[in-house]
């Protein structure tokens, strides 16, 4: 499997305690879904990552704690601080009506015949995810859209064509920040 087919699902923050437990920030939703993968690849990038078997992972406040096979003390855990947690894309189960954020980045966003821009990121604000859509540099209205990724707004997603069709309800211009 090519290393570009890995997903960044978390970050190792610091050792926790003396027995090799690590504190992590999970990018999965819900946060404890990161515990569902038995092997984590740890590294600054997917290309440099090495596999570790997950022994245990649990919620601890707003963070997750984990123990990894072969990491048995604070010093070993400390050497992992700052590394990213990667998992193979093939290990991720995605339902027909779900998308991985990485799949949506780079998609063109259109409203009717109007090209609004390209998805550069996604942001989660509790109630919903939002597409960050940056207009082209030569657009008649250069700027950035923050478009809710909801059934009411997103009409169609075509990953093969890298295209997302949206219906912007009345007042959605408030979600546009012009760049001068």
Q: CA–CA separation, 13 vs 10, rounded Å?
A: 9
- Looking at the structure, tell me whether residues 81 and 20 fall in a common domain: yes
What confidence tens digit (pLDDT) does each residue in 128-137 have?
888 999 998 7
Q: CA–CA separation, 79 vs 136, rounded Å?
A: 42
What confidence tens digit (pLDDT) does each residue in 29-77 have?
788 889 999 999 999 999 999 999 999 999 998 889 999 999 999 999 9
Q: Is residue 15 part of a domain?
A: yes
Q: How many structural domains is the chain composed of?
A: 2
Percent of the chain's residues with pLDDT above 70: 97
- Using the predicted structure, report yes or no on whether residue 2 has a pLDDT greater than 50: no
Q: Is residue 68 part of a domain?
A: yes
Q: Which domain holds residue 49?
A: 3-90
The three-point CA angle 141-147-149 to 5° equals: 155
- Using the predicted structure, report yes or no on whether residue 3 has a pLDDT greater than 50: no
Look at residues 43, 63, 67, 65 and name the one whose alpha carbon lies nearest to residue 53.
67
Q: Of 62, 90, 118, which residue is a domain's last?
A: 90
What confidence tens digit (pLDDT) does each residue in 151-164 have?
999 999 998 999 99
Q: Is residue 57 part of a domain?
A: yes
CATH number at residue 166: 2.30.30.240
**If pLDDT is split at 50, 70 and 90, which confidence band does 180 have?**
low
- Looking at the structure, tell me whether residues 67 and 110 fall in a common domain: no
């Amino acid at each position: 499997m090519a290393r570009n087919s890995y997903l960044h699902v978390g970050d190792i923050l610091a050792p926790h305690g003396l027995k090799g437990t690590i504190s992590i920030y999970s990018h999965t939703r819900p946060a404890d879904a990161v515990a569902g993968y038995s092997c984590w690849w740890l590294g600054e990038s997917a290309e440099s990552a090495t596999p570790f078997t997950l022994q245990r992972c649990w919620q601890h406040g707003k963070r997750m704690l984990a123990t990894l096979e072969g990491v048995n003390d604070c010093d070993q855990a400390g050497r992992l601080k700052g590394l990213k947690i990667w998992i193979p894309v093939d290990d991720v189960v995605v339902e027909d009506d779900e998308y991985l954020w990485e799949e949506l980045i780079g998609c063109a966003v259109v409203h009717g015949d109007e090209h609004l821009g390209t998805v550069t990121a996604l942001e989660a604000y509790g109630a919903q995810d939002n597409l960050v859509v940056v207009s082209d540099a030569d657009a008649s209205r250069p700027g950035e859209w923050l478009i809710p990724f909801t059934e009411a707004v997103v009409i169609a997603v075509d990953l093969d064509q890298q295209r997302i069709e949206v219906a912007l309800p009345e007042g959605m211009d408030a979600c546009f920040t012009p760049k001068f």
